[in-house]
Structure 1
Amino acid sequence: MIQLYVPGASVVHRLGAGAKLLALAVAALVLSLVSPDPWGIAAALAGVTALYLLARLPLRVLAAEIWRLRWLMVVLGGALLVFVGPLAAWISTGRVVTIVLLASLLTLTTRMGDLIDVLRRLIAPARRFGVDPESVTMTIALTITMIPVVAGFASQVREAQRARGAARSGLHGVVPLMVRTLRHADDVADALAARGAV
């Protein structure tokens, strides 16, 4: 899950947004192209843990990030375990979890404005092909900020269902979650239109 910025003064926080984005891209590329052994994946996960500690983020933050990935690990790991075996399941699932945890660390230690500035500069050359960098970066920013908002809506829906004594079923929560999400999207669209952003 993509999380929002947590203020801090660590080395990781002070590192430039561009450098962190580049490091994430390189790490994702290496993990995707290189076929590590099980110990390599364990070392990568240990390295991610060390980076969270270097960022002076409490271990509970890392634990919360891992907990948010529980269904990804269960579904992906379970499917791979059944179809290709435990070794491939560990390597592939560990690879994905490592990349997602690194992406979460990026958003936890980097202000959204700094990330958007870097993305705008990266997309700027595409202007000659008719791409509007401002629109693209705004879309990316809205997408990133909407993820925790929708997660919050899902949590509110579950709490409301528990308060009414409703059975815990994901299907019963889909409609109210969609209604809240679409209503929020309309509010955001109205706000952007009022400011002349769209």
Structure 2
Amino acid sequence: MLSLYRPGTGPWHRMPAGRKTLLLLALVLGVSLLPATWLSCAVAAALVLLCYASPGAGWAQLGRQIWSLRLLVLMSFLGQAIFLGLETATIGTVRITAAIVLAALLALTTPVTALWEVFERALSPLRVIGRDPSRAALLLVVAFGAVPTLIRLAQQVREAQRARGAGRSIRAFAVPYLVLALKHADELGDALTARGVR
């Protein structure tokens, strides 16, 4: 499983995982609930820039996060532009992108084991209904790791397409991408089963 985590010594890395999770969750919710105005758009963008300006994160990392989301950003913008107009599409896309990159900051600055512990503590009430919080936390951690893995696989397929001169054919991309994604899922399932997770 590929992790987004990047070791560092900045304030985000030093902050306890539980407190950091709550803070970033509050920021994501705040950005998501802002009214659809240009001022809200500017506030969301400024908040993201401020959070990534901290040592250990950096604007270069922010640029990489946004670049990896380029297709999602484009699809979000086009979908909203068609039905809601350019102004609403721009504001909405900025807010969505801001929420995603703020959430990514948690994974970038928190080791997988610390995330697992936080999720396990947060999900401990599941014991009341007979569910194992450890397994639920593992599911969330695996989901966190799956996103960068799938992005990496998509980049590998695109590079292979360019090397073969296949152009931008959807079929030439989709078939090998699905094969690689299913192979990764199979390997991940085998690894979890080998560790006694069923």
Per the alignment, residue 25 of structure 1 pairs with 25
1:43 aligned residue? 43
Q: What CA deviation, in whole Å up to 9, does each residue of 1:134-179 have, x standing for no partner?
A: 2111111112112222222222222222222223223212121221
| Cα separation, 2, equivalents of 1:15 and 1:55 | 13
Q: Which runs of 4+ in 1 moved over 4 A?
A: none
Q: Secondary structure at the match of 1:175?
A: helix
Matches of 2:50 and 2:102 in 1, distance apart?
11
Structure 2 Cα separation of the partners of residues 34 and 76 of structure 1: 18
Alignment of 1:17-166 (within 5 A): 17-35=17-35, 37-166=37-166
Seq. identity, %:
38
Contact kept? 2:5, 2:107, Cα under 8 Å: yes
Distance 1:140 1:86, change over 3 A: same
Matched, 1:184 2:184: yes
CA distance in 2, matches of 1:3, 1:191: 16
| CA contact 2:36–2:92 (8 Å) conserved in 1 | no
Counterpart of 2:170 in structure 1 is: 170
Indicate if the aligned counterparts of 1:153 and 1:181 stay in contact, CA closer than 8 A.
Answer: yes
Deviation at 1:36, TM superposition (A): 5.2
Describe the shift of the 1:194–1:74 C-alpha distance in structure 2 as closer, same or farther (beyond 3 A): closer
User: For 1:181 and 1:90, how far apart are their aligned partners in 2?
Assistant: 32
Q: Name the residue aligned to 1:193.
A: 193
- Give structure 1 stretches of 5+ with no counterpart: none
Q: 1:83 to 1:183 in 2, by over 3 A?
A: closer
CA-to-partner distance for each residue in 1:34-83, whole Å, 9 max, x for gaps? 41531232122112112111133342211111112222222222232332
Structure 2 residue 43 is the aligned partner of structure 1 residue 5: no
Mapped contact 2:53–2:59 kept (Cα < 8 A): yes
Distance 1:53 1:134, change over 3 A: same
Give the TM-score normalised by structure 1. 0.89
1:100 deviates by: 0.6
2:76 counterpart letter in structure 1: L
AA of the residue aligned to 2:26 = V
Distance 1:173 1:27 in 2: 36
Q: Tell me the SS of whatever aligns to 2:196.
A: coil
